[in-house]
Amino acid sequence: MSKKDLTITLYKSELIYEVQNKTYLTGRSRHDGENHEQVANMQAGDDDEHLNQILRSLGSAFSELKTKLADFIELDEDQTATNNKLLASFTDADNADNKLEIDLVMPANYNTATADAISSACHNFIVNTAVADWYTLTAPGEAAPYASLAAVNIQQIRDAANKRKAPERPEIA
């Protein structure tokens, strides 16, 4: 049976920006004029300490996403070892391409109209998982909603990946 290849490209800079923006907006909405330090801790920033944690969280979320999409990723029978190269690609400031790719192998009758939905849900899963991880460390009461959103994102990916084209009626000679 023939297959369709689908490559999902995610940009590190967009993922980092969205984690920082979500934590900023959440912190700002919780600010009451008296809790400056607490709000500052809720917000992920460009400080080395913060950025390193965000990058580790993004790397872990990307690995988790690949595990969740394993049914659609071609198996590499020759792989006998692994390392933290993915994490290195997140933390390497010289990473010129600044992107992460997931190569999916879809069934031949996969409806490619859902490709953008899969890409968007993958992006959102990584961001929501990383934000949940950030809040687990800095504001535990804020983590659960983002973990729940990540679970919704996985369901969105599954729904979109399982869309099929309607069969075409064959012509009768």
* Residues 104-155: tens digit of each pLDDT: 999 999 999 999 999 999 999 999 999 999 989 888 988 999 999 999 999 9
CA separation for the pair 77, 156 (Å, rounded): 29
Reported in sequence order, the residue ranges of the chain that DSSP labels E, i.e. its strands, are 3-11, 99-107
Residue 81 domain flag: no
Residue 37 domain flag: yes
Residue 151 domain flag: yes
Q: Please enumerate in sequence order all residues whose Cβ is within 8 A of that of 50, keeping only pairs 6 or more positions apart, or say none.
A: 44
Whole-model pTM over 0.85:
no
Residue 84 domain flag: no
Kindly state the DSSP code that residue 93 receives in the 8-state scheme: T
Residue 113 domain flag: yes
Report the residue count for the chain.
173
Instruction: Please check whether residue 8 is in contact with residue 118, taking contact to mean a CB–CB distance below 8 angstroms.
Output: yes
Domain that includes residue 150, residue range = 3-75+97-161
Strand partners, 55: none
Q: How many separate domains does the chain show?
A: 1
Residue 92 domain flag: no
* Residues 57-111: tens digit of each pLDDT: 999 999 999 999 999 988 766 655 555 555 555 555 555 568 899 999 999 999 9
Residue 104 domain flag: yes
Residue 173 domain flag: no
